[in-house]
Amino acid sequence: MSTRTVPHHLMLIGGEPVDSHRRMHLFDPGDERLIATVAQGDASHVDTAVATAKAAFECGTWSRATTQHRAAVMRRIATAAHHASDDLIELEMACNGATIRLATGLHIGYALSHFNYFADLAETYAWQRPAQVQTFPVLSQSVVHREPIGVVGAITPWNFPLLLTIWKIGPALAAGNCVVVKPDEHTPLSILEFARIAERNGLPPGVLNVVPGDGPEVGARLASHPDVDKIAFTGSTAVGREIMRLASGTVKQVTLELGGKGPSIVLDDADLELAVDGVLYGCFAYSGQICESGTRALVPATMHDEFVERLVARAATIVVGPTRDWETDLGPVIDATQHARILSYIDGARAAGAAVAHGGHAITGGDFDKGFWLAPTILTGVANDMTIAREEVFGPVLVVIPYDGDEQAIAIANDSDYGLAASIWTSDNARGLAMAERIQAGSVWINDAHQINCRAPFGGYKRSGIGRELGPDALDAYTEVKTIHLDLSGGRAAKPYDVLLGNADNGDTSNDFGHAG
């Protein structure tokens, strides 16, 4: 296919557009149309970008700027990005198959407001916290400083390309770090555009660099680079493990946001109208390609048949169709590999004894002949030890698991390698809150799903990750901690140096270790 008619995008290193002799081809998952090419970086581009970021950090224009200055520049960038939001929405959905409703509200709507939140956080964060005055062994005062770490590497996935990158560059930039981003191979366009907007609106060159490329080449070089001081990753648990291994060589700081297999627990007192829609929304939004999706519906055995019947009836109203149509509820999945992988999970579940209550197949014919289309799928007859209940499918597949009593619901919910998010559906808030305390997950939503509050931490228990993004302490993970210790003892006589140097001439041992009064 000719690539001459589609736009070609360049990397951004040190404020300069950079081309490469290799190109990545980007396709619309809805119709497999080639939409753009992008310069494909390699390890040498990572080296250049890291050196540029390091130089920018050391020169201090950004890293030692006042927090008020950083906040003001970040707000200017957010405003300019807001003006460009139609372009950003288009760039994002062209590559990742999000529907226009989803891309407008969640992908770009969240991303820009979250960037603004990090600008505000730069001003309210406790950059210096005094410790309690110490009297033993000598009078002294310590102050704990939070400082930027240096060069941050950010490796991000395709499902929310800009949002999940902003969860990293937002706190990184607010703290004064310089950043090299490695976006996913499918979706580098929105972050490239955002970085160009940032440059035009006051971010010094070299502070934010974007190097598209393959994970095992560009991502791996970034994760292992000796001059990268921290690596922030969102993606699969398998790659997260590899990132940890690569980062261990230089003992760099690591935060990981990984996969999930969220339970959606329907209690016997749930408002069924809400719970049915909520469970479907929690699983099928964005074709199940959200890490914190509720993909295991846990339903009281006594209500199982009625609940499944209502789920199926409602799922039948979900409109699968072109992503740019405002009437469309569900778009395609990301690519052919993922399409085949999801279908093979469904086949495997069937072979293991699950029944297809709804969907269970690819959608083909007419408008669906091109692209990667799947019917939203509901499986029953699933036990929690089946592969379909244990592994992350990352597609529109909901399994329904019956339970007897709240204790069993909690046990099944927690019987998972993952622990990212959970939903509880109940008409009794106290009961929901009590159950939430016993769920092993970083986020528990009572009577809701997919609620991301940028003012509260987000992240996973167990194999869903390490560390938290968002919330008032989001900058902690992008800062080094320095304790500055100020002696207030008044001179040599008060010091306990005698533990090394023997008694001082004045014979006063009252401040020696072990003799303190």
Chain residues binding ligand NAD by CB under 6 A are: 155-159, 164, 182, 184-185, 215-216, 219-220, 223, 234-236, 239, 242-243, 257-260, 291, 392, 394, 420, 460, 465
Q: Which helix (H) or strand (E) holds 400?
A: strand 397-403
CB of 145 to ligand NAD, least distance (A): 29
Cis before 130? omega within 30: no
CB of 242 to ligand NAD, least distance (A): 5
CB of 512 to ligand NAD, least distance (A): 53
CB nearer ligand NAD, residue 307 or residue 458: 458
The CA distance from 122 to 74, in Å, is: 10
CB nearer ligand NAD, residue 259 or residue 402: 259
Say which residues have a Cβ less than 8 Å from residue 514's Cβ, sequence separation at least 6.
Answer: none
CB of 164 to ligand NAD, least distance (A): 6
Say which residues have a Cβ less than 8 Å from residue 400's Cβ, sequence separation at least 6.
Answer: 297, 299, 304, 307, 308, 311, 357, 378, 379, 380, 382
Q: Is 353 exposed, middle or buried (0-12, 13-18, 19+ CB in 10 A)?
A: exposed
Catalytic residue from among 291, 392, 454, 469:
291
CB of 193 to ligand NAD, least distance (A): 17
CB of 392 to ligand NAD, least distance (A): 5
CB nearer ligand NAD, residue 429 or residue 453: 453
The CA distance from 276 to 270, in Å, is: 10
Say which residues have a Cβ less than 8 Å from residue 5's Cβ, sequence separation at least 6.
Answer: none
CB nearer ligand NAD, residue 402 or residue 460: 460
CB of 234 to ligand NAD, least distance (A): 5
Task: Write the DSSP symbol of residue 143.
Answer: E
AA identity, residue 99: T
CB nearer ligand NAD, residue 148 or residue 459: 459
Asked if residue 23 lies in contact with residue 213, where contact means CB atoms within 8 angstroms, the answer is: no
The CA distance from 169 to 152, in Å, is: 9
CB nearer ligand NAD, residue 153 or residue 176: 153
CB nearer ligand NAD, residue 107 or residue 182: 182
Q: Compute φ and ψ for 25, nearest 5 degrees.
A: -105, 130
CA-to-CA dists, residue 9 to 18, 24, 26, angstroms: 9, 10, 11
Count CA within 13 A, CB hemisphere, residue 12.
28
Active site residue 283: no
Active site residue 95: no
Pairing of strands 418-419, 443-446: unpaired
Asked if residue 194 lies in contact with residue 162, where contact means CB atoms within 8 angstroms, the answer is: yes
CB nearer ligand NAD, residue 156 or residue 190: 156
CB nearer ligand NAD, residue 364 or residue 453: 453
CB of 216 to ligand NAD, least distance (A): 4
Whats the size of the chain, residue-wise? Answer: 517
CA-to-CA dists, residue 122 to 59, 113, 395, 455, angstroms: 20, 15, 37, 13
CB nearer ligand NAD, residue 90 or residue 185: 185
User: Would you state the structure tokens that stand for residue 289, as one six-digit string?
Assistant: 């390609």
Task: Write the DSSP symbol of residue 477.
Answer: G
Tell me how crowded residue 414 is: count the other CB atoms within 10 A of its CB: 16
Catalytic residue from among 90, 185, 257, 392:
257
Say which residues have a Cβ less than 8 Å from residue 84's Cβ, sequence separation at least 6.
Answer: 193, 197
Q: Which residue's entry shows tokens 């929901």? A: 432
CB of 455 to ligand NAD, least distance (A): 17
CB of 239 to ligand NAD, least distance (A): 3
What HEC string does 274-317 produce?
Answer: HHHHHHHHHHHHHHHCCCCCEEEEEEEHHHHHHHHHHHHHHHCC
The CA distance from 268 to 402, in Å, is: 12
Active site residues: 257, 291
